[in-house]
């Protein structure tokens, strides 16, 4: 008989009890904690029947809670609680996809601590949530600063377009919180771990210039679990002056790679819209980034909020409608 995933089949009330339960940990009371956690779940077949569908955010937290029950160190308890508190406090745009680190993921240099609170990789886009704190009590950070963060997969830096959003700056603790996304090449392999590297804290001055506020060496490793989310993929499609060799749509946005018939060195204009199943509603994606070499291009259009892939019927690029394959 196929075993049940008892964590994923719990009623909402019992899930809330589990997620709110974060006891103090020691090696001596590990077994007691496990037992108390299981007793709090109070799993019964008649409670499992009729359970409503759980949201994607809850499912991500459930995965972390399942790890918590099998924990063998304080790190897992801290990481799980940290992500849940982070999500409930800031309600970040893409928080439903984040997975808590299985062990502490932070680095300290020059009195600055950078910590990865959660991460995820879907297709060629990597999402990370980080906190940056000045431990020196000199209040060197401000709401205009952020870590100049690099993301490495299998030892290689991702150099594609990126999007960074400051979620909050807490002056009382001199801590800033960020949601960051960075885009790799099409077909980038799925990695079990992501390395975050920073060599400076940058200050975006009112004049528009960027200066280095603090130089240091921050390196940390964070895991990236697979949520089973598959992007929508197109290939070899003509679209006006564009020939799309590869295009993929993920909850984070649209990646477009191909060639164009514009003049050499003239970057093509991208007006990207998403058409949803009610046919009359479409959303223009804001901004974007990419590069060009001769007549070839690689472009990514970010979305401000998660895209419901199941509701998409077509992508409209510069007025050309490309239906979902």
Using the 3D structure, point to which of 178, 205, 223 is the last residue of a domain: 223
Which tokens in the block code for residue 79? 């990481």
Q: 257 pairs with which residues across the strands?
A: 246, 298
Whether residue 111 is found in the same domain as residue 184? yes
Whether residue 20 is found in the same domain as residue 47? yes
| SS3 sequence of the chain | CCCCCCCCCCCHHHHHHHHCCCCCCCCCCHHHHHHHHHHHHCCCHHHHCCCCCCCHHHHHHHHHHHHHHCCCCHHHHHHHHHHHHHHHHHCCCCHHHCECCCCCCEEEECCEEEEEEEEEEECCEEEEEEEEEECCCCCCCCCCEEEEEEEEECCEECCCCEEEEEEEEECCCCEEEEEEEEECCCCCCCCCEEEEEEEEEEEECCCCCEEEEEEEEEEEEEECCCCCCCCEEEEEEEECCEEEEEEEEECCEEEEEEEECCCCCCCCCCCEEEEECCCCCEEECCCCEEEEECCEEEEEEECCCCCCHHHEEEEEECCEEEECC
Q: 177 pairs with which residues across the strands?
A: 131, 168
Using the 3D structure, point to which of 195, 223, 251 is the last residue of a domain: 223
Whether residue 209 is found in the same domain as residue 109? yes
Q: Is residue 173 part of a domain?
A: yes
Q: Is residue 100 part of a domain?
A: no
pLDDT digits (tens, 9 = 90+) for 132-151: 999 999 999 999 999 999 99
* Percentage of residues in the chain having pLDDT higher than 90: 42
Whether residue 50 is found in the same domain as residue 74? yes
Confidence of residue 127 (pLDDT cuts 50, 70, 90): very high
Assess whether pLDDT exceeds 50 at residue 306: yes
Q: Is residue 25 part of a domain?
A: yes
- Please report how many Cα atoms fall inside a 13 Å half-sphere around the Cα of residue 15, on the Cβ side: 22
Whether residue 115 is found in the same domain as residue 207? yes
pLDDT digits (tens, 9 = 90+) for 52-92: 444 454 554 444 444 444 333 333 334 445 888 899 999 99
pLDDT at 73: 32
Whether residue 124 is found in the same domain as residue 218? yes
Which tokens in the block code for residue 138? 């000199």
> Considering the entire predicted model, what is its pTM?
0.71
pLDDT digits (tens, 9 = 90+) for 167-177: 999 999 999 99
Task: Say if residue 243 is exposed, middle or buried (CB neighbours under 10 Å; 0-12, 13-18, 19+).
Answer: middle
Higher pLDDT, 297 or 63: 297
pLDDT at 215: 96
Q: How many domains does the chain have?
A: 3
Domain coverage including residue 280: 232-323
Whether residue 120 is found in the same domain as residue 207? yes
pLDDT at 291: 65
The closest of 8, 301, 69 to 163, measured between CA atoms, is 301
pLDDT at 265: 60
Assess whether pLDDT exceeds 90 at residue 117: yes
pLDDT at 147: 95
**Cα–Cα distance, 144 to 125 (Å, whole number):** 25
Residue pair 113/92 in contact (Cβ under 8 Å)? The answer is: no
Whether residue 126 is found in the same domain as residue 43? no
Q: Is residue 300 part of a domain?
A: yes
Please report, for the domain that includes residue 140, its CATH number.
Answer: 2.60.40.1640
Whether residue 111 is found in the same domain as residue 130? yes
* Percentage of residues in the chain having pLDDT higher than 70: 70
Query: How large is the average pLDDT for residues 262-290?
Result: 74
Assess whether pLDDT exceeds 50 at residue 313: yes
Assess whether pLDDT exceeds 50 at residue 204: yes
Q: Is residue 3 part of a domain?
A: no
Assess whether pLDDT exceeds 60 at residue 296: yes
Whether residue 170 is found in the same domain as residue 193? yes
Query: How large is the average pLDDT for residues 34-38?
Result: 48
Residue pair 192/224 in contact (Cβ under 8 Å)? The answer is: yes
> In degrees, to the nearest 5, what angle opens at C-alpha 158 toward C-alphas 258 and 207?
95
Q: Report the mean per-residue pLDDT for the chain.
A: 77
pLDDT at 13: 55
Assess whether pLDDT exceeds 70 at residue 121: yes
pLDDT at 64: 46
How many beta carbons lie within 10 A of that of residue 253, not counting itself?
Answer: 26
Confidence of residue 307 (pLDDT cuts 50, 70, 90): very high
């Amino acid at each position: 008989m196929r075993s049940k995933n008892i964590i994923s089949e719990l009623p909402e009330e019992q899930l809330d009890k589990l997620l709110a339960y974060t006891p103090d940990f020691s090696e001596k009371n590990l077994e007691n904690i496990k037992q108390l956690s299981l007793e709090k779940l109070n799993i019964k077949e008649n409670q499992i029947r009729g359970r409503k569908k759980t949201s994607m955010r809850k499912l991500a937290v459930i995965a972390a809670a399942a790890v918590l029950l099998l924990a063998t160190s304080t790190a897992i308890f801290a990481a799980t609680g940290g992500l849940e508190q982070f999500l409930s406090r800031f309600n970040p745009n893409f928080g439903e996809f984040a997975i808590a680190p299985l062990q502490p993921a932070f680095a300290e240099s020059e009195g600055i601590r950078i910590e990865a609170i959660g991460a995820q990789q879907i297709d060629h886009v990597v999402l990370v949530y980080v906190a940056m704190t000045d431990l020196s009590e000199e209040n060197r950070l401000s709401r205009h600063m952020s870590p100049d963060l690099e993301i490495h997969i299998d030892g290689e830096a991702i150099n594609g377009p990126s999007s960074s959003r400051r979620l909050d700056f807490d002056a009382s603790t001199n801590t800033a919180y960020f949601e960051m996304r960075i885009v790799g090449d099409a077909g980038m392999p799925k990695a079990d771990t992501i390395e975050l590297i920073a060599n400076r804290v940058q200050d975006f001055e009112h004049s528009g210039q960027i200066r280095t506020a603090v130089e240091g060496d921050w390196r940390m490793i964070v895991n990236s679990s697979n949520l089973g989310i598959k992007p929508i993929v197109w290939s070899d499609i003509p679209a006006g002056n564009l020939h799309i060799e590869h295009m993929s749509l993920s909850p984070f946005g649209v990646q477009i790679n191909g060639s164009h018939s514009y003049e050499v060195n003239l970057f093509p204009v991208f007006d990207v819209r998403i058409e949803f199943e009610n046919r009359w509603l479409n959303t223009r994606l804001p901004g974007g980034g990419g590069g060009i070499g001769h007549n070839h291009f690689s472009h990514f259009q970010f979305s401000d909020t998660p895209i419901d892939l199941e509701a998409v019927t077509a992508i409209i690029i510069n007025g050309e409608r490309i239906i979902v394959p």
